[in-house]
């Protein structure tokens, strides 16, 4: 039986872009790569699932419901027929219908992209693998930011490389947009 794949686009929302409440390093470039992947999936009539994060914490500074920041960015705006799943946690499967939806469509392979690499992309990819999905993460279609640990700054580029390298070990295969599209 041939593998059936779906594109999972995680949290590409206005707050992660310049002028948003939590801008990421390289968010615009990543969104343009997702736009390229999205065009390919749409042309082939393959399933696309948009994940949209809504904060439920009272002290949240971004993804606040009913703000422009929580809206999906114009570069990857869903079209009619594409599934949109609202979530409240980094793991896109937690307390959502994502798993049931994928099972109902007999999806076996997930092509994962989005934001933030170190948080929601990582949590979702690991959960997907644990649920038995074959995962491919498109590294240049993901974005992250500088982090801090014990008073030391970790540059976004290092965060990105580290998380993608960790995911590439067991949880997924990591490719860039061109590699993924050229293999067909």
- Encoding tokens for residue 108? 């076996």
Q: What is the pLDDT of residues 50-97, one digit of tens each?
A: 999 999 998 999 999 999 999 999 999 999 999 999 999 999 999 999
CA distance linking residue 172 with residue 125, whole number of Å: 7
Q: Say if residue 1's pLDDT is above 60.
A: no
Which residue in the list 35, 113, 120, 122 is annotated as catalytic? 120
Which residue in the list 11, 15, 122, 140 is annotated as catalytic? 11
Identify the pLDDT of residue 184. Answer: 63
87 labelled catalytic? yes
CA distance linking residue 19 with residue 1, whole number of Å: 47
Question: In sequence order, what E strands does the chain have?
Answer: 5-10, 48-53, 83-87, 109-115, 134-143, 147-149, 152-154, 173-175
- Which DSSP string do the residues of 40-52 spell out, in sequence order? HHHHTT--EEEEE
105 labelled catalytic? no
120 labelled catalytic? yes
- Do 139 and 174 meet the contact criterion of CB atoms below 8 Å apart? yes
pTM above 0.95, yes or no: yes
What is the CATH classification number for the domain harbouring 105?
3.40.50.850
Indicate the number of domains in the chain: 1
- Encoding tokens for residue 73? 């960015």
User: Whole domain around residue 102: which residue ranges?
Assistant: 5-182
| Residues pairing with 85 in the sheet | 51
CA angle 38, 142, 15 (to 5 degrees): 95
| Residues pairing with 26 in the sheet | none
Which residue in the list 35, 87, 145, 175 is annotated as catalytic? 87
Report which of 2, 3, 6 is spatially closest to residue 110, judged by C-alpha positions.
Answer: 6
Q: What is the pLDDT of residues 123-157, one digit of tens each?
A: 999 999 999 999 999 999 999 999 999 999 999 99
**How do beta strands 152-154 and 147-149 pair?**
antiparallel
């Amino acid at each position: 039986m041939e593998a059936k794949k779906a594109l999972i686009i995680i949290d590409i929302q206005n707050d992660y872009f310049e002028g948003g409440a939590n801008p990421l390093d390289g968010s615009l470039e990543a969104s343009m790569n997702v736009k390229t992947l999205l065009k390919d999936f749409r042309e082939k009539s393959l399933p696309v699932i948009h994940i949209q994060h809504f904060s439920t914490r009272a002290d949240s500074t971004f993804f606040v419901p009913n703000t422009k920041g929580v809206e999906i960015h114009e570069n990857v705006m869903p079209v009619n027929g594409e599934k949109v799943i609202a979530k409240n946690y980094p793991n896109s499967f937690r307390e959502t219908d994502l798993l049931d939806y994928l099972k109902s469509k007999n999806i076996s392979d997930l092509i994962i992209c989005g934001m933030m690499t170190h948080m929601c992309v990582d949590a979702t990819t690991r959960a997907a693998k644990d649920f038995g999905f074959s995962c491919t993460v498109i590294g240049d279609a993901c974005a992250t930011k500088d982090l801090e640990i014990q008073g030391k700054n970790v540059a976004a580029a290092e965060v990105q490389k580290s998380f993608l390298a960790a995911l590439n070990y067991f949880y997924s295969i990591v490719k860039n947009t061109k590699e993924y599209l050229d293999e067909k």
